[in-house]
Chains A and B, each alone.
Chain A
Amino acid sequence: MINFDSVTMRYPETGDVLRNVSFHLQKGEITFLTGHSGAGKSTLLRLITAMERSSRGRVILDGQDLGLAKEHQLPFIRRKMGVIYQDYKLLYDRTVFDNVALPLVIAGYGHYEVTRRVRAALDKVNLTGKEKKYPLALSGGEQQRVGIARAVVNKPPIIIADEPTGNLDPELSAEIMLLFEQFQQVGVTVLIASHDISLITQLNHRVLKLDHGQLVAS
C-alpha cells in the first residue's frame, strides 16, 4: 500500500533529512514509526501525504508514484488517507460537526449522508453530543479526538497518525488504538508516528525506527 524505494530527502539548509529509506507497508497492516526528535519522522509523513516530493527515490502510494503525480491529482491522492496531526489542524471558527464533515463535503456527499457519517465517527471517538461545540471549548484530548474523527469519517484505505495519543490519558489511548485495530481488520493500512514506547511495546505491531534519517529497524 505504501512503498518507499531508497528515498532520500535533502534540504539546502539542513542537508539529508532522510537517507536511502526503503520499506513496504502491506494493505491492512498497522505499523509504528518511531525515532528521536529530528530523526525524520515528520518529513517521512510529509512525503506520504504528498506535501513534498522526495529528492531521490520513489514514494509509491496505492500503486501511484507520488513523485510523478500532477499537481491537480494531489487532492484525490490525499483523499485516500485520513491524517491525524499532532497539532490537530482544526478550523476554530467552525463547529465540531463541520470540522468532521469537511472531508465528506469536499468529496461531494449529500447532506443526509454527511450527517449520518459524522454522527457515526463522533460516536466512535466518544464525542457524541459535542457536535455543536467549537473546538476551543473542548479539552486538548477532545480536540485530538475531533481530529481522529475527521481522519476516519471518509473511511479511507490509509490512516496516518502523527502522535495521535500525545494528549490522551492511557485509558483513552488504549481505546483509540483499539479503534485503529478495528480499521486494520477491515483492511485499512495504519501508520502511527509515536514516541510512546510503552504503547508501542504493549501492542505487538511492526515498528519502523528512524535514526538520523536512516531506517535502523523495520
Chain B
Amino acid sequence: MKYRNKNQARNNVQDSSAKQANRQTKVAGGNFVDKLHAYRDQHAHALFSSLGRIVAAPFNLIMTISVLAIAISFVSGFYILEVNIQQLAVHIEANNQISLFLRDDVSEAHANKLAESIRKNSNVQNVKLITKEEAATEFQTYSGFGSAINELEKNPLPIVLQVLPKKNLDDIHELEALQKEFQQSPEVDVVQIDLQWIERLQSITNVVKLFANMLSILLGVAVLVIIGNTVRLELHNRREEVVILKLVGATNSFIQRPFLYAGFWIGFISSIFAWFIVTVLMLILRYSVEKLSSLYGGSFHMLFLSLTDTLTLIVVSSLLGVFASWTVISYQMHTTRLKKQKILKV
C-alpha cells in the first residue's frame, strides 16, 4: 500500500470523505444548476456513447438500417409522387378552357356583346372571341384538311368564345355550374369542356393518393417494428450490463437512456440514407419525365424533396425511432426484474 502508516491513510480517507459530503449535498441538495449540468452531461454521454456503439460496429446495424432506409424511401417516394401528380393536375386545370360554340345565325357584333357580358362574370378571367375566318385559318393550318374547307361554299365553322375561368376555380362542380350558366344563353349552341378528362385525372389522383397513404402507414408500422426489434435484441445482448447497472444503483431512466438514443440514431441515419435513395432515383427519372413532358408541349418540372420535406422526414424518422425503442424498453424493463425465484410470503 502507498500509505506509510494507518494514520496517514485515515487522514486521507477522512479528508476526501468530508469533500464528498460537500459534493453529495451539492448533487442531492438544492443546487438546481449543478443538477441541470449533471443531467445534461448524462444525456450527452448517452447520446454519444450510443452513436459510438453504432460506429464501432457498423455491420451489426447495416442490414437493419438498409431495410429501414428502403422502407422510409418508399414512404417519401410516395409523397413526392403525390406532390408531382398534384402539380400536374393543377397545371392541367389551369389551362382549363370552356369553349362556347355560338349558333350559326349569331352575328359577330352580337358575339362581341356576349363576350363583353361574360367577361363581367366574377368567375371568368378572360374571354377570347374567335371569328369564323380566324377559325377557318386555324383549321387550315392545324387540321391537315386545309384544302377540304376550300371546297365548301360557305364557311361552316361557328364563332367560338374561349372562356378562361378564374385560376382558383379548379373545383369540377364550379366549372359545371359555369357550364350550365353559359348553356342557358340563347346564342350558345354547344358548351364544351373537358370535364371528363379532369374528373378521371382527379379520381386517379385520389386512388393513387389513398393507396400511397395506406402503404405509407403500413411501412411506418414496419419501421416501428423493425426499430423496436433491433432495440430489443440490443437490450437482450446487454442484459448483463443492465443487471450490473441496476446493482450499482442506476435508475430505470438512466438504464433506458442509451437505448432510446440508439433508437434515435437508427431512425436518424436511416432517414438520411432514405433521402439519398429518393433523390438519386428522382435524378435518374428526371430526364425521362421532362422529355415526356416536352413531347406534350408541357413545361412540367419535377419537384424534389424541399428543405421542409427533408427536415420533416428526418425529424419524423428519428421520433419514430425513439418511440419504438421507448415502447420496447419500458415493456422490457417492466418485465425484467432482478428476482430470479418466486418467493413465498409466509
Contact = CB atoms under 8 A, between A and B. Distances in A.
Interface in B252-296: 252, 254
Interface string A156-191: 000000000000000000010011011101100000
A110 B41 contact: yes
A155 B244 contact: no
B248 interface: yes
Contact of A108 (B38, B240, B346): B38
Contact of A12 (B38, B252, B342): B342
A12 B247 contact: no
Interface of chain B: mostly helix, strand, loop or mixed: helix
B10 interface: yes
A89 interface: yes
Interface string B6-17: 100110011011
Q: How large is the interface on A (under 10, 10 to 19, 20 to 34, 35 or more residues)?
A: 35 or more
B344 A55 contact: yes
A12 B243 CA distance: 24
Interface residues of B, number: 40
A161 to B, nearest CB: 14
Given A11-B341, A155-B20, A103 B248 contact: yes
A107 B344 contact: no
B113 interface: no
Interface string A1-20: 00000001111110000000
Contacts of A56: 345-346
A103 B20 CA distance: 14
Given A75-B246, A89-B244, A109-B23, A120 B16 contact: yes
A12 B344 contact: yes
B4 to A, nearest CB: 13
Contacts of B250: 75, 106
B119 to A, nearest CB: 76
Contact of A10 (B27, B39, B344): B344
A84 B118 CA distance: 94
Contacts of B2: 123-124, 126
Contacts of A179: 1
8 contacts: A10-B344, A55-B344, A55-B345, A83-B248, A102-B248, A106-B248, A110-B37, A150-B248
10 shortest interchain CB distances as A-B pairs: A108-B38, A79-B249, A78-B249, A10-B344, A75-B251, A155-B20, A106-B250, A51-B338, A75-B249, A103-B248
